[in-house]
Structure 1
Amino acid sequence: MTRLSILDLAPVVSGGTARDAVRNTVDLARRAERAGYHRYWLAEHHLAEGVASSAPAVLIGAVAAATERIRVGSGAVQLGHQTALAVVEQFGTLDALYPGRIDLGLGRSGQRTKELRAAAGSPPPAVPAVPAEPRVVHGLLIPPPFSYASLAGSPLFRLHASLLQQPGAESPDFAEQVDDIQAFIAGSYRSAEGHAAHAQPGEGAEVELWILGSSGGQSAQVAGERGLPFAANYHVAPSAVLEAVEAYRDAFKPSAVLSAPHVMVSADVVVAATDEEARRIAAPYGLWVRDIRTGTGAPPFPSPLEAAAHVWTAADRELVADRVDTQFAGSPGTVADRLRVLRDATGADELLVTTITHDHEDRARSFELLAAAWRD
C-alpha cells in the first residue's frame, strides 16, 4: 500500500497564538503516529503571522521527543538562508538524539531571491492569444501556472531578503550545497584548497536525505542526478507536478541510496464526515491564499465565519483558483479516491498530505479519518 505522510506548517489561527500552534503540532504528531502515518514533516516559513514553523529543526526535536516510531523531518530546509555545515550540525544533533528516525528535506526556497528580483524588474510577459486553460491528465486536474513575479516587488518580499541573510551575503549554488551536505555526512568534505573539515555531530548521521521541488528545474535535476528521493509539490505548484516528476525520473542515476527513482507527491486535503462539512471547514483556505498572493503575507488562518463574510470579486477567485480547485476537500471516501488519482497520475511511491483548518480538532480528525479510509 502507498504510504501516507504529513506536512505540517504549525498554523496560527485567528484568535490563537504561536504557542497554541506549536503545542497543537506536538499533539497532532502523537495522533498521527497512532493513526499509522509514516513521516511527519515540518515546513520552514519566515515572517508569516499565520505560520509558526520558522525553526523546523527545533520543532522536529520536540515532535521526535513526543513520539516513538514515526519518522520526523523537514519539508524543507531553505538552503538559501543557511550554510551546509549549519544544516548538517543541526540534523546530526537530531540524529544523535533520535537515531534512524530523522529525514532531512532540502529545498531551493531562499535561493530564488535574485531570480524573482530580476523578474520584478522585467516587463510583463506578453499575454497569449488564448489564455491558458486547466487540463485533466489521467483524471488529475492540472491548472494554469501562477506567476510569483508580481510579489517580488512587494515591501514584504524585500524585508524577507534583508532579514534572512547577512548584508551582502550570496547563497552558493543549490547543487553545490547539496554536495557539501552529502560530503559532511560522509566525512569526505574538502575545501577548494583541499582542507578537510568534519561536522560533529553530523558526520556519519543516519538521516534520510530528500530534495523537494515545485518544477522540473534544478531541484528535480539535482535529486535525479544524485540518486536521491524527490518530493514534488502538487499542493504548492499543481500546474508543474507532472513536469517535476518527469524531469526527476529523466535525470535519475542509481546511487548508493536508491537503485530506482522514488517519488513522494504532496496534496492539500481536508476530510470530514461528509463532503458538505468538509467544504465548510475548508472554505477559509481560499481567503488565506488570496492574502498571501496579494503581498500581505500569510495572516492568521481565518475561521469559516470570517471567510463567509468576505466579498469575493472575480479577480479574487481567479487569483486563487489553481490552489482552491486542487484542494481535496470531502468525505474520507471522496478524498481517498482523489488521492489515488494523484498517485496514479504521477506514479508516486508515497503521498504527503497537508491540512489547515481553523479548529485544531477538525484538523486532527481530518488526518484520522483519512488514515482509516486509506487502510480500507
Structure 2
Amino acid sequence: MSVPLSILDLSPLVSGDPSVGAALRRTLDLAKQAEQFGYHRYWVAEHHFTPGVASSQPALLLGQIAAVTDHIRLGSGAVQTGHQTALTIVEQFGLLDALYPGRFDLGIGRSGQAKKEIQASAREEHPAQAEERVVDGLLIPKPFSWAPIFASKRTALASSLLSQPGAEPLGLTEILDQIGGLLAGPVGDGEGNEVVAVPGAGADLEVWLLGSSGGESARTAGARGLPFAANYHVAPAKVLEAAEAYRESFVPSATLSAPRLMVSADVLVAEDDETAQRLAAPFALWVHSIRTGLGAVPFPSIEEAAAFTWTDEARALVKDRVDTQFVGSPQTVAEKLRTLQRVTGADELLITTIAHDHADRVRSYELLAKEWRG
C-alpha cells in the first residue's frame, strides 16, 4: 500500500506576472484542488527576502488556506525559530487552532542557530566532500555547501533585519521546552506566578521537526519522540544521514510509539516524459538564482531558460538539485518516489512542484495523485 502524499508550497511568483497577490491566490486555488485530489497535508514554507517566493508568514497564510478548505491538514514547513519567540509561535498557531480545531501541524526549523553554525564553518578547513553515489536505485549526490552564501554580506543584512538588535536565538531544546510548556499551560516561575498563552494553551497541534542533515534537529526529534521531516529536495546528499540519525535517536513518547518520518522531493509530472522535461527546464535556472545568493527569482519561463548561457561552473552549482528532481510521466515519477520511499523508509512523502504556468503545476499534482492511488 502506498504511503500518503502531502504538499509543500512556497507560493512562487513567476516571471511575466511578478505579483505577490497573484502568487498567493494561486496557493489558495492549489490548496482547494489538492484537497479534492486527496493529498494528506498542505504545508507552506517560511522564506524571507526572496524575490520569487511569497510565503514568508506561514501562520497568516495558513489562516487564509483554512478558510477555503474543509479537512486537509495544514502546517508550516517550517516556522523558523531563530526569528520568533516561543510565545509568538504558540499564539499564532493557537489562534489558528481556535478557529479551525484539530487541523494544524506546527513544523519547526532550527534556522537561526543553523545559519550561525554554517557561517562559522565557512572559516574552517574541511576535507574533500563525499562523491555522488547511488543507493539501491536512489541518487545521493555530492553535498552542496551553503557556507559562502551564509557568510555573505547580503545574508548578514537579512539576518540583521530578522531579529532585534543583540537578540540571540534560543537553542532548539530550549525553544521546544518553552513551546511545550506554553501549549500545556499555564507556565509558572516557581514563586506562585503564572501566565497562560491566550490563544495557544491547550491547542490541538501536531508538532514536527524538520531537518536537512543528521544533526541536532534529527536527533532531537528522535529523543523527544516527535515526527520528523527530512529534506531530500533541499539537501539530497544528507537525506539518508538524517533518516538514520532520527531512527537511532528515537525514544517512544506520548505522541509516538515508533518513528514517523516524512521525506520531501522536488517533482514535476506531465502526461509524458518529454512534456514534463520541457516544463521542468526552468528549474535549473531558478535553483541557480538561489545558489548564487540572490534568493529565488520569479520562476522563469521555458523561453527564458532556453536563452540562458550555461557555464560548466554554473551547471555544477545546480547539479545536485537538478539531478534529484523527479520529472516525467505519472508512471515515471511514481516509480522514482517509490524508490525514495523504499530507500529512506519514509512513512509519508512531501511533494513540492513549481512550474511557470499555474495550470501545469495543478495538473502535475493531479496526475501524480491519480497514479499514486493506482
TM-score for the superposition, normalised by structure 1: 0.96
**Aligned twin of 2:149:** 151
- Residue from 341, 346, 357 that aligns with 1:348: 346
- Judge conservation of contact 1:119–1:152 (CA < 8 Å) in 2: no
**Aligned twin of 1:175:** 173
Moved more, 231-240 or 187-196: 187-196
In 1, distance between residues paired with 2:198 and 2:292?
A: 43
Task: Give a deviation string over 1:275-310, Cα, whole Å, max 9, x none.
Answer: 111111111111111111111221111111100100
1:2 aligns with 2:3: yes
- Judge conservation of contact 2:185–2:201 (CA < 8 Å) in 1: yes
Task: Give a deviation string over 1:146-170, Cα, whole Å, max 9, x none.
Answer: 1111112323211111110111110
1:105 maps to a residue whose letter is G
Quote the offset at 1:65 in angstroms: 0.6
Quote the offset at 1:174 in angstroms: 1.2
**Aligned twin of 2:225:** 227
User: CA 1:337/1:193 → structure 2, altered by over 3 Å: closer, same or farther?
Assistant: farther
1:76 maps to a residue whose letter is A
Quote the offset at 1:192 in angstroms: 8.0
User: CA 1:167/1:67 → structure 2, altered by over 3 Å: closer, same or farther?
Assistant: same
**Aligned twin of 2:83:** 81
**Aligned twin of 2:356:** 358
Quote the offset at 1:180 in angstroms: 1.0
- Judge conservation of contact 1:156–1:297 (CA < 8 Å) in 2: no
Task: Give a deviation string over 1:306-363, Cα, whole Å, max 9, x none.
Answer: 0010011111111111100000010000000000000000000000000011111110
In 2, distance between residues paired with 1:243 and 1:59?
A: 32
**Aligned twin of 2:337:** 339
TM-score for the superposition, normalised by structure 2: 0.97
- Judge conservation of contact 1:272–1:366 (CA < 8 Å) in 2: yes
- Residue from 167, 176, 197 that aligns with 1:199: 197
1:38 aligns with 2:36: no
SS in 1 for 2:194: coil
Quote the offset at 1:123 in angstroms: 4.8
Post-superposition, which runs of at least 4 consecutive aligned residues in structure 1 deviate over 6 A? none
- Residue from 305, 308, 312 that aligns with 1:307: 305
In 2, distance between residues paired with 1:12 and 1:369?
A: 23
Quote the offset at 1:38 in angstroms: 0.4
Moved more, 294-303 or 107-116: 107-116
SS in 2 for 1:199: coil
Quote the offset at 1:370 in angstroms: 0.3
**Aligned twin of 1:247:** 245
Moved more, 286-295 or 234-243: 286-295
SS in 2 for 1:100: coil
1:49 aligns with 2:51: yes
**Aligned twin of 1:125:** 126
In 2, distance between residues paired with 1:351 and 1:61?
A: 23
Task: Give a deviation string over 1:241-290, Cα, whole Å, max 9, x none.
Answer: 00101101111111110000000000000000011111111111111111
1:67 maps to a residue whose letter is T
**Number of matched pairs:** 372
SS in 2 for 1:339: helix
Task: Give a deviation string over 1:28-85, Cα, whole Å, max 9, x none.
Answer: 0000000000000000000101000001101100111100010011000000000001
2:8 maps to a residue whose letter is L
Quote the offset at 1:132 in angstroms: 3.5
Give RMSD over aligned pairs.
1.3
Structure 2 unmatched ranges of 5 or more: none
In 1, distance between residues paired with 2:291 and 2:233?
A: 15
SS in 2 for 1:295: coil
User: CA 1:249/1:305 → structure 2, altered by over 3 Å: closer, same or farther?
Assistant: same
In 1, distance between residues paired with 2:157 and 2:137?
A: 41
**Aligned twin of 2:285:** 287
Task: Give a deviation string over 1:124-163, Cα, whole Å, max 9, x none.
Answer: 535x3xx642111121100011111111232321111111
SS in 1 for 2:292: helix
**Aligned twin of 2:12:** 11
- Judge conservation of contact 1:142–1:239 (CA < 8 Å) in 2: yes
In 2, distance between residues paired with 1:251 and 1:125?
A: 26
1:40 maps to a residue whose letter is Y
- Judge conservation of contact 2:186–2:201 (CA < 8 Å) in 1: no
- Residue from 24, 27, 34 that aligns with 1:25: 27
In 2, distance between residues paired with 1:143 and 1:193?
A: 54
- Judge conservation of contact 2:108–2:208 (CA < 8 Å) in 1: yes
User: CA 1:357/1:87 → structure 2, altered by over 3 Å: closer, same or farther?
Assistant: same
Quote the offset at 1:215 in angstroms: 0.5
Task: Give a deviation string over 1:75-111, Cα, whole Å, max 9, x none.
Answer: 0000000000100000000000110111110001122
Percent identity, aligned pairs only, is: 62
1:72 aligns with 2:45: no
